[in-house]
Amino acid sequence: DTEVTQTPKHLVMGMTNKKSLKCEQHMGHRAMYWYKQKAKKPPELMFVYSYEKLSINESVPSRFSPECPNSSLLNLHLHALQPEDSALYLCASSHSQAGASTDTQYFGPGTRLTVL
Amino acid sequence: AQKVTQAQTEISVVEKEDVTLDCVYETRDTTYYLFWYKQPPSGELVFLIRRNSFDEQNEISGRYSWNFQKSTSSFNFTITASQVVDSAVYFCALSETSGSRLTFGEGTQLTVNP
C-alpha cells in the first residue's frame, strides 16, 4: 500500500485566517515532506521531517509552520497568508531518513489552497 | 550542482501513437537515482519508476518503457500506443547520494487526443 492521504482537498481562506493542512501515511515511512507547487511548475521543497524531527527548512516564511505529531502524521499550519501563497500543497513520504533522498518519495493528492 | 532538463514543454499526439518524453540530467556524483512521476489533472504525483546510476538496463512495464543512457546523460520515457488516460504532466527527477534534495525537471505536458 503506497498511499499518502491529505485533507482537505480544497481550501479557501482569507489573509487573516488560521488553517491547517493534514497529511497521513501508514507505510511505516520515517521521512515526510511538504512541497508547494504553482501552476505549470514542478514541486518546490518546503520542509522535511526525519524521525519526527525537522531536518530541512527551505527558508520558508514563518507564516507556514510545520508539525509532526507522530511518525504517521504531518501538519502544515497556515497563518496570515498572502494571495501569492495560493498553490497546490503536496505531502510526500519515503522509507528512510531525510538525506537519503535516493529513496522513492510517494506523494499524496495534494490540497489546492486559495488565499483571498 | 544537479540539474534536470525536459526540453519538451508540451506534446500533443493522437491516440495509439507512440510518444517519447526526453529527460537530460547533470550531476557530478557517480551514484545517483533517476525517477519519473506522472501528474494527472487531479494533482497527485504518481511514482512510475526509479533507476540507479549503475543499472543501465532498459525497462518495460506494459505500454511504458524507459531508456537510460549514461553516455548521453539521458533517461527517456516512451509510451507505446498512447491512450487518452495518459494525458498528464510527466516529471523527470534526480537525486544524488551526496545530496538531500529531489531535483525535478520542468515537466512535459502530454495531451493524447481521441
Q: What percent of chain A has pLDDT over 90?
A: 78
Q: List the grid coordinates of A51.
A: 524521525
User: Given this model, what pLDDT does residue B46 score?
Assistant: 96
The pLDDT of A19-34, averaged and rounded, is 94
Residue B105, min C-alpha distance to chain A (Å): 7
Whether B31 has a pLDDT exceeding 90, the answer reads no
Whether B100 has a pLDDT exceeding 70, the answer reads no
Provide the mean pLDDT of chain B: 93
Residues of chain A found within 8 Å of residue B101, distances taken between Cβ atoms: 45, 101
- A101–B contact, CB cutoff 8 A: yes
Whether A81 has a pLDDT exceeding 70, the answer reads yes
Q: What is the DSSP letter of A84?
A: G
Whether B34 has a pLDDT exceeding 80, the answer reads yes
pLDDT digits (tens, 9 = 90+) for B14-29: 999 999 999 999 999 8
User: Given this model, what pLDDT does residue B97 score?
Assistant: 74
- CA B76 vs. chain centroid, Å, equals 6
- Helix/strand/coil (H/E/C) assignment for every residue in B42-106: CCCCEEEEEEECCCCCCEEECCEEEEEEHHHCEEEEEECCCCHHHCEEEEEEEEECCCCCCEECC
User: Given this model, what pLDDT does residue B98 score?
Assistant: 65
For residue B14, the tally of other CB atoms under 10 A from its CB is 11
The pLDDT of A8-31, averaged and rounded, is 94
Selected for mutation to probe chain B from A41, A86, A95, A101 (highest B CB count within 10 Å) is A101
The pLDDT of A58-77, averaged and rounded, is 95
Whether A59 has a pLDDT exceeding 70, the answer reads yes
Q: Of A58, A101, A10, which is closest to residue B52 (Cα–Cα)?
A: A101
Residue B112, min C-alpha distance to chain A (Å): 18
User: Given this model, what pLDDT does residue A2 score?
Assistant: 62
User: Given this model, what pLDDT does residue B59 score?
Assistant: 87
The pLDDT of A7-36, averaged and rounded, is 94
Residues of chain A found within 8 Å of residue B42, distances taken between Cβ atoms: 109
